[in-house]
Amino acid sequence: MSEANTFLLDDIEIPFTPGQSVMQAALSAGVFIPHLCYHPEFRPHGSCKLCTVKINGRPATSCTTPAAAGLEVESNTPEILDKRRTLVQMLLVEGNHFCPSCEKSGHCKLQALGYELGVMTPRFNLLYPTRPVDASHPDVMLDFNRCILCELCIRASTEVDQKFVFALSGRGIKKHLVVNAESGRLADTNFAPTDKAAQVCPVGVILPKRKGFAVPIGERRFDVAPISAHVDEFKPVAAAQGERT
């Protein structure tokens, strides 16, 4: 690789392949940048803003910014970490996140990032939104209380499954996930538990039925090691990167 194809991330030299984003290059080099809406198989989206860094002194989302030679990127600074904590706190109070009773506990990226960033209190007032649970499908349950609007299920259903099952409705604080059926019920769509959309939710919205707590809490991946130790899970997939970025 050419010596010109590197940039600095917190004073660490990061090599990159032309076409990679700052996020993809960092993950490929084993350096974790916190994120929620990024997925290695999909086109970068930049909606959660958790991966925001400073590039040459200016804020930018690392998942959408192309890597370039000579960039000076800051990620683990007190200022940026504090902003990330604030974003996680806002997500926690905007929905109904009851971690001790959630099937996704120990597998939830929002919870894991809360631990990673040292989020100890919600800081803001809890909103307690009214969000129904959709248990109409025979194999999958939707708990909208935990949705963080990352749009991963929408992108998976659109780009991979070609089914267009999910969408967002509303604006601002009233924006919410909906099912593309006249009834609004998952059972009235062609959704299947084998769909890619069933596998990508970073929190506990899309859950398979009859499989709750198959892996005990305390033995799940983020219980065993912090999310930053799972960097290999988030490394770019070569084929998907070429097709969708």
d(CA 94, CA 176): 11
Average pLDDT (56-72) is 97
Average pLDDT (75-94) is 97
d(CA 177, CA 157): 13
Average pLDDT (118-145) is 95
Query: Mapping DSSP to helix (H, G, I), strand (E, B) and coil, where does residue 134 land?
Result: strand
- Asked if 200 and 2 touch (Cβ cutoff 8 Å), the reply is no
Domains in the chain, ordered, with CATH? 6-76 (3.10.20.740), 82-210 (3.30.70.20)
Q: 109-117 and 78-94 helices cross at what angle (nearest 10)?
A: 140
Query: How many alpha carbons fall within 13 Å on the CB side of residue 129?
Result: 20
* pLDDT interval class at 238 (50, 70, 90): low
> What pLDDT does residue 242 have?
41
- Asked if 38 and 155 touch (Cβ cutoff 8 Å), the reply is no
